């Protein structure tokens, strides 16, 4: 499970980076990852669809 969580986290970092490049959000512009996902009308990666939580407890 730990390895899966690490891989998932690395994939989410990559996706966030790509979305920032696509949306032209660069360094002085501060935007949280949650705001980033909301602005693209996506569910935040890793969330459980039924509860909206990430499955950690």
Cα separation, 37 vs 42, in Å, equals 5
* pLDDT for the residue numbered 57: 42
CB 16, CB 36: distance < 8 Å? yes
Q: Which of 3, 2, 12 minimizes the C-alpha distance to 42?
A: 12
For residue 22, the model assigns a pLDDT of 93
Q: Which residue has the higher pLDDT, 29 or 46?
A: 29
How do residues 14-42 score in pLDDT, each as one tens digit? Answer: 999 999 999 999 888 889 999 999 988 88
Measured CA to CA, the distance from residue 29 to residue 23 in angstroms comes to: 11
Is it the case that residue 12 has pLDDT exceeding 60?
A: yes
Q: What are the boundaries of each domain within the chain?
A: 2-39
């Amino acid at each position: 499970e730990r390895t899966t969580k690490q891989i998932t986290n690395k994939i989410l970092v990559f996706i966030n980076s790509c979305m920032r490049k696509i949306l032209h959000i660069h360094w002085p512009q501060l935007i949280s990852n949650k705001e980033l996902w909301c602005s693209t009308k996506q569910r935040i990666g890793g969330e459980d669809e039924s509860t909206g939580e990430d499955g950690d407890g």
